[in-house]
Amino acid sequence: MSMSAAAQPESEQEPAPARRETVGGYLRFVALLVLAVLAFRGFLFTPFTIPSESMLPGLIKGDYLVAAKWPYGWSRWSLPFDAPLIEGTIAPRLPERGDIAIFRHPVDGTEYIKRVIGLPGDRVALRGGVVVLNGAPAIQRRFADFVLPVSPNTGCAWGAVRESAGDGARQCRYARFSETLPGGRSYLVLDFGATPQDDFGPVTVPAGHVFMLGDNRDNSQDSRFLASAGGGVGLVPTSRLVGRAEIVLFSTDGSARWYNPVSWFTAARWNHIGERL
């Protein structure tokens, strides 16, 4: 009596054919990956590279940071490639005074980063370089000088004292102050001395707008200047807000060379990486 195929010993059964990855399966995986990246980039976080020294001392040219998008809601300006998929703003929320915010320039659409000082209805002025918010001056106290090594990403602005470090390298020394807004938010700012923009306003921030300042007060094109392409930003519409700066992911002084792997490490500002904003 012959044994049926079902009764054959396991060792004699034909092995199951190996699963083969199909082109269609691979393309589905790639499509899902692209959608996941777009969702992450479009609705959760956005990267930003610091292009100038207007936010010294906290943010340095060559910093790579990430900003959260949900704190201020979503609009076409917060989507990749300015995709016109959203009309108006979804779940709009105002920033808090003192937030570091990324936004689109009202004229040319370039991404800028500044600190939120005034909200709708606030009366903002500067007197002798000190912010006056709704009639109450911010508290400024002298802080330890800010020392910045000269590098391909950082030079000495006109308000710096140029000096040599102990190892002979060049560095820039700036006067630094802590500034505390009337609401209690504190942060550090630079001051080069008396400049025309130290006295401004007052202006009342209209509905749907915010008043922005750079922390490097004498080297920042911000809400003290009329909005113009490549220049001042004026009063920024809240619909142009992209996200709230959260953390410095990486920072480089710009001296790395692609052909020299050692320079990739020596150029990194390790003590600045991972700072919360």
| Of 253, 108, 250, 131, residue with least CA distance to 180 | 131
Instruction: Give the number of other CB atoms < 10 A from CB of residue 226.
Output: 11
d(CA 237, CA 154): 31
Q: Which DSSP string corresponds to 9-68? A: -GGGSPPPPPP---HHHHHHHHHHHHHHHHHIIIIIEEEEE--SSTTTTTS-TTEEEEEE
| Of 236, 136, 126, residue with least CA distance to 189 | 126
| Of 101, 121, 96, residue with least CA distance to 46 | 101
First to last CA, the chain: 81
Backbone angles phi, psi at 182, to 5 degrees: -55, -30
d(CA 46, CA 68): 7
Provide the annotated active-site residues.
54, 114
β strands within 75-226, DSSP E:
100-104, 111-118, 123-127, 130-133, 136-137, 139-149, 161-164, 170-180, 186-190, 200-204, 209-213
| Of 188, 67, 251, 28, residue with least CA distance to 77 | 67
- Amino acid (1-letter code) at residue 167: D
